[in-house]
Chains A and B, each alone.
Chain A
Amino acid sequence: MNFKKQFVEGLLTKNPVTVQLLGMCSTLAITTSLFNGIGMGLAVTIILTCSNILISALRKVIPSQIRIAAYIVIIAGFVTIVDLAIQAFLPDLSSSLGVFIPLIVVNCIILGRAEAFASKNGVLASAIDGICQGIGYTVALIIVCVIRELLGSGTFGGGLLNNGEGIRLIPAQFPAMQIVMPVGGFLVLGFVLAGSQWLMKRLDSKK
């Protein structure tokens, strides 16, 4: 069990968003405030860990011909549980994430990890993999969220800090509204990916 290696892979060298480019729909769509980013990241981490555990526990029982269908049913079950829990306990989060919570079912990160990792490794390793990949996803979401929120609404921690108003860093008349709109999602993620590619190159050349 190489926890440290898995952690570094999830966070940096095999980050699901910046390196594997999985789960782009939610990364682009919901990253408009810190609250959304953390909520979505946690939801995905929980679902990913649970489905990784169950799939790796059942990996010898599921016939390989129908494995994808079986994985999707398992994932959809966990997504429904989390969706109902969020609707019950965090109605604000539920209304701001909207249809993107049920859409976690088809988030490629979860099916991708099930196929690439959980179906080949033991329960404990799969659980750790789920947590590490989930953290990597959450961190990437938070970075995109912070940039978009700062440039687009001029605040930090919207939905969470200061009674949900967020801490205002740029006066209300200046921020570029387009950044919290779809356009900004593509642009900011493009620059974040470029930054991460640059960072990886730097790290490689130092070795």
Chain B
Amino acid sequence: MEYMQVVIGILISAILSENFILVKFYGICPFMGVSKKTDTAIGMGMAVTFVMAIASAACWFVDAKILQPLNLGYMQTVAFILVIASIVQFVEMFLKKFVPALYQALGIFLPLITTNCAVLGVALVNVQKGYDFLQSVINGAAGGLGFTLAIVLFASIRERVDKTDCPECFKGFPIALISAGLMALAFMGFSGLKIF
């Protein structure tokens, strides 16, 4: 029972109070780059959630079953990035073969996920916090959901902000960053949220 509480706590905090983008700053590049339209933002969010859950699982295995027994902890970064790159490649091939509709929808975003720091970040944080297998996967999936939530909300704000008449030098990225800042302010409201 206590274990379930911990798991639910990880789930809620990864989505809201420890939101990967707005609180922890993992994955800002795709957040700024792929948030011009709500549709593409949803696609990106789904792809990232999927890869983050699988990568958390795979990196947990690599760390616990290969690196730790062999005392190769210092190779973590290199090993994880290779695992992530091959997972992204594998997911791409799998989707192309079996779910072509989803593959079409995600398009260019799939290969870009390799260099999304949210994915490597979640793998490293899982090890740092000493999560077990289930907790790692939950943390990965919930982190991805938090990413999706933030990017979809932000894309819908940005669609409107782009049409507004703001000072010349604020056009484009500066005003987008400031909108993101105001969103982060709203998410700070969740920071007192302690489930258990």
Contacts and interface: CB of A to CB of B under 8 A. Distances in A.
A29 B78 contact: no
Given A181-B188, A185-B25, A25 B117 contact: yes
A197 interface: yes
Interface residues of A, number: 42
Contacts of B78: 73, 76-77, 80
Contacts of B28: 24-25, 28
Interface string B127-168: 010000000000000000000000000000000000000011
Nearest to A200: B169
A44 interface: no
A86 interface: no
B75 A73 contact: no
B173 A186 contact: no
A124 interface: no
B178 interface: yes
Interface stretch (A54-62, A99-107, A159-167): A99-107
Interface string B33-77: 000000000000000000000000000000000000000001111
A190 B178 contact: yes
A interface: dominant SS: helix
Contact of B81 (A72, A184, A197): A72
Interface string B166-180: 011111111111101
A193 B128 contact: no
A190 B185 CA distance: 14
A103 B169 contact: no
Interface in B8-34: 22-29, 32
A197 B181 contact: no
Contacts of A28: 25, 28
Interface in A20-67: 21-25, 28-29
A207 B128 CA distance: 53
A24 B181 contact: no
A21 B77 contact: no
A156 to B, nearest CB: 23
A83 interface: yes
A191 B120 contact: no
Given A79-B77, A83-B77, A194-B170, A182 B25 contact: yes
Given A80-B74, A183-B181, 6 more contacts: A21-B32, A72-B114, A84-B74, A182-B184, A182-B188, A186-B177
Interface of B: 22-29, 32, 74-78, 81-82, 85, 114-117, 120-121, 124-125, 128, 167-178, 180-182, 184-185, 187-188
